[in-house]
Homo-oligomer: A and B are copies of this chain.
Amino acid sequence: MTPADRPTRYRRQSDAELSRMEIMEGAALCFEARGFAATSIDEVAARIGSTKGRIYHHYASKSELFLDVYRTGMRLIFEAVEPHIEADLPAFDRLRAMLKAHVLCVLRTKPFQNVVRQGVDMLRHGVMPAREHAELIQLARLRDSYSDHFLTVLEQARAEGAIDYQNIKIALNSVFMCLNGPIVWFTPRDGQTEEEIDLLADECVLYTLRLLGQAAAPSRPLPSPKSHQGEPA
Contacts and interface: CB of A to CB of B under 8 A. Distances in A.
A201 to B, nearest CB: 11
A53 interface: no
Contact of A174 (B33, B37, B178): B178
Interface in A145-185: 165-167, 169-171, 173-174, 177-178, 180-181, 184-185
A206 B166 CA distance: 10
Interface centre among A127, A177, A212, A232 (most CB of B within 10 A): A177
For chain A, give the interface size range.
Answer: 35 or more
Interface in A171-206: 171, 173-174, 177-178, 180-181, 184-185, 200, 203-204, 206
A170 B211 contact: no
Interface string A107-145: 000000000000001001101000000000000000000
A182 to B, nearest CB: 8
So how many copies of this chain end up in the complex?
Answer: 2
17 contacts: A33-B124, A33-B125, A37-B38, A166-B230, A166-B231, A167-B232, A167-B233, A170-B233, A174-B178, A174-B204, A177-B178, A177-B180, A177-B181, A177-B184, A208-B211, A210-B212, A210-B213
A38 B38 CA distance: 7
Contacts of A208: 174, 211
Contacts of A181: 173-174, 177
A207 interface: yes
A148 B70 CA distance: 35
A34 B121 CA distance: 9
Nearest to A179: B177
4 residue pairs, one from A and one from B, having the closest CB atoms = A37-B38, A37-B37, A177-B181, A211-B211
Given A177-B184, A184-B177, A207 B37 contact: no
A224 to B, nearest CB: 21
A35 interface: yes
Given A166-B203, A166-B232, A178-B178, 12 more contacts: A33-B125, A34-B125, A121-B184, A166-B206, A166-B229, A170-B203, A170-B207, A174-B204, A177-B177, A177-B178, A207-B211, A210-B212
